[in-house]
Structure 1
Amino acid sequence: MHITHLGHACVLVDTGSARLLIDPGVMSDLDGVDSVDAVLLTHKHPDHVDPEKVRAVLATSPRAVLAAPADIGEAMSGLPEHRSAEPGRTLKFGDTVVDVVGGRHAPVHETIPSCANLGYLIDGGAFFHPGDSFHEPAVEVGVLAVAIDGPWLKIAESIDYVRRVAPRVAIPIHEGETLDPAKYVGMLSNAVGGGVVRRLERGSATRL
């Protein structure tokens, strides 16, 4: 498959039979992104979903499906009609199978309310996007998108997460709010092995 990192938590996954856009948020650059088969949203935070960008992509993709947690409409005015996804559900786009997993956003603090958070497991583990969580799939993972910065994590947790999941490749994401993402990528790479971590060039499709 080909994976394109479009900024922060947003990736475009092209399996050969489907083009899946995951988490187009306010820090995503979607110039040139069109003709997708699905837009998959992990949760309702603006860095993962920008209704205006979602509408723009769907305008170029009239048959695309928008899938999101059931509670996303409560926070996102202007979001187009969408299909509610929940853990345990399976979505199909052509020959591509997406298993919905997860449940809740990783905790930030006991005083800050949590929300639903979905993970999307593509083609039996070929690729996994956990959203803002450290959910561990029950299958082997080929390519894991791993967050490296945010108010809900520290880099030690990201390192331990990659070690537990043990993917073939870990691609760092969720770095849009840090001034020095290379530092966090370097710490992750040094801790889990440089052959596992691969930082994708933003906007360029990479075969993995």
Structure 2
Amino acid sequence: MKISKYLHSCLVFEQDGFKLLFDPGTFSFAEGIVTPDMFKEVDAVIITHIHPDHFDPENLKKVIELSGAKLYTNKQVAAETEKLGLHAEVISEGDLSVGPFNLKAISVIHEPLLDNPTPEMTAFVINEKVLHPVDSFEEKLLEHKGIELVILPTMAPFCTELKIADFADRLQPKRILPVHDGFAKEFFLNQRYENYARHSDAKGIKFINIKPIGETVDV
């Protein structure tokens, strides 16, 4: 299984020639560096929640039109995609298969934001190797302590580095793939990720300083 990053929280998982796209949101497309054409060969798309940095209606529609990919999401997002003429298979908690991927869907609570309603949000365990908590640090996610890799939000208005590091320290994954960083300048990103890497190394966790566009990690 390969995971490729396309700015912020936009990820492509690939296995046996099947490509699964997560959260192509507005932050990924904002500067025109990432375009819908890059995802014309994806087979399926998952949207984890309705926030625009994870869900970009206009560009999602382009991706689906180009690729013919099947769309999976929760009820709240599905209500919006129907308005675009895009039918989605609604995900509920539990196990599901998407192509060769075995997924466990977990309903989680988004970390609090200023004057912002809490969205319906779905986290995932992928192939029993990867935890994708999305924008949540709920205690129940720690049931997956020791997992091979966690996709970790590392910058956000809803958290601090101390909170992020505490979650990772308690989860004790073997590796960390950082996301939720699409609004940061490169010099700042490099500085903070050096700090995260030093902290993680001291805890016996490998922090992967992945480049933001198209670089791949094998799991």
TM-score by length of 2: 0.84
**Partner in structure 1 of residue 123 of structure 2:** 119
- Where in structure 1 are there 5+ consecutive unaligned residues? none
Q: Give per-residue Cα distances to partners, 1:22-80, cap 9 Å, x unaligned.
A: 11001222442222222111110110011122122222332x32111211245665372
Q: Which residue, out of 139, 152, 169, partners 1:163?
A: 169
What stretches of structure 2 of length at least 5 have no aligned partner?
29-33
Which AA in structure 1 matches 2:113? V
Aligned to 1:133: 136
CA distance in 2, matches of 1:176, 1:59: 25
2:190 is matched with which residue: 182, 186, 202? 182
* Aligned residue in 2 for 1:207: 218
Q: Is the 8 A contact 2:39 2:67 kept in 1?
A: no
Q: How many residues align?
A: 204
Q: 1:137 to 1:51 in 2, by over 3 A?
A: farther
Q: CA deviation at 1:17?
A: 5.4
Call closer, same or farther: CA 1:197–1:25 in 2, change over 3 Å.
Answer: same
The equivalences for 1:43-192 within 5 A come to 43-62=49-68, 64-73=69-78, 77-78=83-84, 80-88=86-94, 90-109=95-114, 111-124=115-128, 126-135=129-138, 136=141, 138-139=143-144, 140-179=146-185, 180-192=188-200
Query: Structure 1's 42 and 141: CA in aligned 2 closer, same or farther, altered over 3 A?
Result: same
From the two aligned structures, give the one with the greater helix fraction.
2
Cα drift, residue 138 of structure 1: 2.7
**Matching residue's letter, 1:67:** Y
